[in-house]
Amino acid sequence: MKNVLQITLAFLLALLIAGVIAGVFCFALIAAAASGSTPQIAKRSILTVDLSAPVSEKGGTPTPMDLLQGSTSMPIPAHELASALRHAATDKRVKAVLLHGGVSGSMSAIAAAREALLEVRAAQKPVLAYFGGLDEKTLWFASAADELWMEPLDVVVVDGFSAEIPYFGDLLAKYGIEVQVTRVGKYKSAVEPFLLGHMSAENREQMEAILADIQATMYGSLAAARDIDPARLEAVARDKGWLSSEEAVELGLVTKAAPFGELLARLKVVADVDDDEDLPQVAIEDYARAVRKKGPRGHGIQVLVAEGEIVDGSSSEGIGGDDLARALRAARLDDDVKAVVMRVDSPGGSATASDVIRREVLALRAAGKPVVVSMGSLAASGGYWISANADAIVAQPETLTGSIGVFGMLPNIEKLAENHGLRAEIVRTSPLGGVESLWRRKDEAQVARIQALVDRIYEQFLDLVAEGRRLPRERVHEIAQGRVWSGQRGLELGLVDELGGLDRAIELARTKAGLGAKAPVRFERREKELFEELLDAALAGRREPLARQLRGRADVAGEAWAALERVRRLVGTTGVVARLPFDFEVR
C-alpha cells in the first residue's frame, strides 16, 4: 500500500511539474506575442538568408515536440521565400543580400529562391555568400551570388552523387520474418529491400541513370554560373573529392577564403555604416512576414501544393486524398478561379487516394478550368497518377518522375513465432479470410487474388497515362514497368511537356486560361492555430540563433528513426500502393 501511495504521489508531482513548465512556456509565448509586431525594416539593411532549416513547399512552424527533438523547418513556404527575395530586388531599404549558415531542403524547393537571387543581382544589388564547408548543393545554390566566401580551414566537397538503399532481406530471413509481395513491372523495386540482401541489376540500372542525370544537371548549372568547364568538376569528383579552400579558390568555385570578420567589414562598406556601428540586418523569414500581401482578388490562378505521401482520407501530414480533392473541388466552384496550378512533390502512396484526386483534376478540366502540374523533386507513382491527366506538366531536370507501377506487401511472422513457441490459431468462415494477419503465410489462392487486383490497377494506370499524355498504350507499357526517370528523360519520353519551375507553370496556366500577365495568383494558406501564432511571434527575430542551437542536437538516432518510419509506412500499408521505390535526397 505504501509503495502504491508513493508511486501515486510521484506521478501527481510529475504532472504538477509538467503543468508548471507548460504554463511558463505558454506565458512566455503569450508575452512575446503581445510585445511582437510586424518587423520593421531599417534603412540600408542587409537581408540575411540562412536555409539551414529545410525549405519545403508548404513551410511550417515547429511544434513543441519538434523543438525538443532539435528539428526545425523554414517557417515560410518555398514560393514565399522566392517572392520575398524578388521584392528585395526593388526595395530601397535593402542594400545587399547575405547567404550564410547552410542550405537544406529539396532541390526543387530552393531552385526558385536561386532564380530570385539572380534577379537581385540583375537589379545591381550585391549578393554575397559566406559558408564554412561547402557541398555540391550549397555550391550550386551559392553560385547565384556575386561573391562566394568560405572559412580558410574548411573544405569543399565535390565527390559526385550517391544513393544508399538498405536491404533487409537477409536480416528478415535470419529471424524468420517473411514478406510476400504482389507487384507489376520489373523496375518496381520498392519491395526489393524486404526480399533480397542486395540490389537487383534492374534497380542498379535505373539508379545509375538517375544519378548521372542529376550530376549532369547540377554540374552544368554550377559550371555555367562560375565560368568553369564541367569536365573539370567531373575530374575533381573522380580524382580528389575534397578541395582545400586554396584549391577551391584556384579552381574558381570560391571567390575568397577569409575570416567572417573581413566579410563583415565589406558588408559595412556596402551598407555605408561606420566600423563602430551595428550592421542593420533582417532575417529572410521576418522580411517575408513584413512584405507579405493579402491575397489578391479577381479572376486569377489558384496554386495548390501536394507535398508528401498520399494517404486515404484526411491527414495532417502528407497528402490526404480527401483533403486535396476538397481543395480542387473548391477551386472548381469558385468563380474567381480560372485555372489551377498543382505543385506536386510526392513519392506517391495509396492508389485509391491518388484516383480520388485525379477525378477532381478531370472535373476541373470538364468545367473549362485548365490544370497545370508543376513537379518538384518527386512526382512518381501516385505522384504521377494525380498529374497525368493535367492539361500540361512542367518538371525540373532533376525531378524524379514516372515509376508507373503498383505493388502490395503481405508480411508474416509465422516462422519467427514458431521458433519461439508461439502459434496463433485462426478460425474463419472463408478460405480467403485472414489475409491481413501477421501470424500466417498467405496461401496461393490469397496471393493470386491480390495479384489480380494489383494487375487490374496497373492496367488502369497504363490507361490513364495513355489517355492523359496522348501516347499509345503499348508505348506507355514500354516506359512504365515501375521505372523511375529524371525530368530530363521524362521530357524526351513524353511523360512531361516542358522543363521549368513553378513560375513557368503559372505562366502556362495564364495562357491556357486566357488571362493577362497581371492576373492574380493565389496560394493556399493554411490558417495557423493559436499556439502556432504565439510560437511564430515568440520566434520572430530570433529564429536563426535558435535554429543553430537546435540543429546541433540532430544525431544518428534521428536518421535511424526516420528510416524505421519509412519501413513502417510501407509494411503497414494494407491496400495497393503506387509509390516511388525509395526515398531520395540530393546531398
Predicted pLDDT at 525: 66
- Identify the band that residue 474 occupies on the pLDDT scale cut at 50, 70 and 90: very high
Residue 190 DSSP one-character state = G
Q: Do 334 and 300 touch, CB atoms closer than 8 A?
A: no
227 and 356 together in one domain: no
The answer to whether residue 114 sits within a structural domain is yes
Average pLDDT over residues 208-229: 92
Query: Tens digit of pLDDT for each residue in 19-46?
Result: 544 554 454 444 444 444 566 788 899 9
DSSP 380-440: ETHHHHTTTTSSEEEE-TT-EEE----EEEEEE-HHHHHHTT-------SSTT--TT-SSS
104 and 244 together in one domain: yes
Q: Can you give the length of the chain in residues?
A: 587
The answer to whether residue 585 sits within a structural domain is no
The answer to whether residue 455 sits within a structural domain is no
Task: Give the residue with greater pLDDT, 73 vs 320.
Answer: 320
Q: Average pLDDT of the chain?
A: 83
Q: Do 387 and 324 touch, CB atoms closer than 8 A?
A: no
- Identify the band that residue 298 occupies on the pLDDT scale cut at 50, 70 and 90: confident
Domain span including residue 537: 45-163+200-292+530-555
Q: Is residue 73 over pLDDT 80? A: no
Q: Strand 371-380 to strand 498-499: parallel, antiparallel, or no bridges (unpaired)?
A: unpaired
Query: Tens digit of pLDDT for each residue in 75-107?
Result: 889 999 999 999 999 999 999 999 999 898 888
- Identify the band that residue 219 occupies on the pLDDT scale cut at 50, 70 and 90: very high
Predicted pLDDT at 42: 87
307 and 235 together in one domain: no
Report the 10 Å Cβ neighbour count for 266. Answer: 18
Predicted pLDDT at 186: 67
Predicted pLDDT at 582: 56
> If DSSP states are collapsed to H, E and C, what string results for 144-170?
CCCEEEECCCCEEEECCCCCCCCCCHH
155 and 258 together in one domain: yes
68 and 213 together in one domain: yes
The answer to whether residue 520 sits within a structural domain is yes
Three cell numbers, residue 556: 544518428
Q: Do 332 and 324 touch, CB atoms closer than 8 A?
A: no
**In whole angstroms, what is the distance from residue 423 CA to residue 205 CA?**
42
Residues paired with 395 in a beta bridge: 499
Predicted pLDDT at 580: 62
Task: Give the residue with greater pLDDT, 72 vs 329.
Answer: 329
- Identify the band that residue 437 occupies on the pLDDT scale cut at 50, 70 and 90: confident
Closest CA to 325 of 352, 288, 290: 352
287 and 301 together in one domain: no
Task: Give the Cα-Cα-Cα angle 188, 191, 195 (nearest 5 degrees).
Answer: 125
pLDDT cut 70: percent of the chain above it: 79
334 and 218 together in one domain: no
- Tell me, yes or no, if 188 is annotated catalytic: yes
53 and 75 together in one domain: yes
**230, amino acid identity:** P
> Which residue is catalytic, options 221, 381, 387, 486?
381
Q: Strand 256-257 to strand 147-150: parallel, antiparallel, or no bridges (unpaired)?
A: parallel
Task: Give the residue with greater pLDDT, 463 vs 547.
Answer: 463
Kind plus residue range of the DSSP H or E element containing 163: none
Q: How far apart are the first and last CA of the chain?
A: 58
User: Which of 3-7, 29-33, 182-186, 569-573 has the highest mean predicted lDDT (pLDDT)?
Assistant: 182-186
Closest CA to 387 of 350, 360, 366: 360
Three cell numbers, residue 390: 493535367
Q: Is residue 173 over pLDDT 70? A: yes
- In this structure, the dihedral spanned by the alpha carbons of residues 235, 114, 72 and 60, taken in order and rounded to 10 degrees, is -140
> Which residue is catalytic, options 95, 125, 137, 188?
188
340 and 390 together in one domain: yes
Three cell numbers, residue 11: 506521478
- Tell me, yes or no, if 381 is annotated catalytic: yes
Task: Give the residue with greater pLDDT, 450 vs 469.
Answer: 469
The answer to whether residue 211 sits within a structural domain is yes
Query: The pTM is what?
Result: 0.80
Predicted pLDDT at 377: 92
Q: Is residue 540 over pLDDT 70? A: no
496 and 545 together in one domain: no
Predicted pLDDT at 565: 55
Task: Give the residue with greater pLDDT, 21 vs 506.
Answer: 506
Query: Tens digit of pLDDT for each residue in 308-366?
Result: 999 999 987 889 999 999 999 999 999 999 999 999 999 999 999 999 999 999 999 99
The CATH number of the domain where 261 resides is what? 3.90.226.10
276 and 318 together in one domain: no
Phi-psi region of 239 (alpha: psi -120 to 50; beta: other; left: phi over 0): alpha
Residue 304 dihedral angles phi and psi, to the nearest 5°: -115, 135
The answer to whether residue 410 sits within a structural domain is no
Q: Provide the number of structural domains found in the chain.
A: 2
- Identify the band that residue 584 occupies on the pLDDT scale cut at 50, 70 and 90: low
Query: In the block, which residue shows the cell 528585395?
Result: 88
**In whole angstroms, what is the distance from residue 297 CA to residue 295 CA?**
7
The answer to whether residue 354 sits within a structural domain is yes
The answer to whether residue 436 sits within a structural domain is no
216 and 321 together in one domain: no
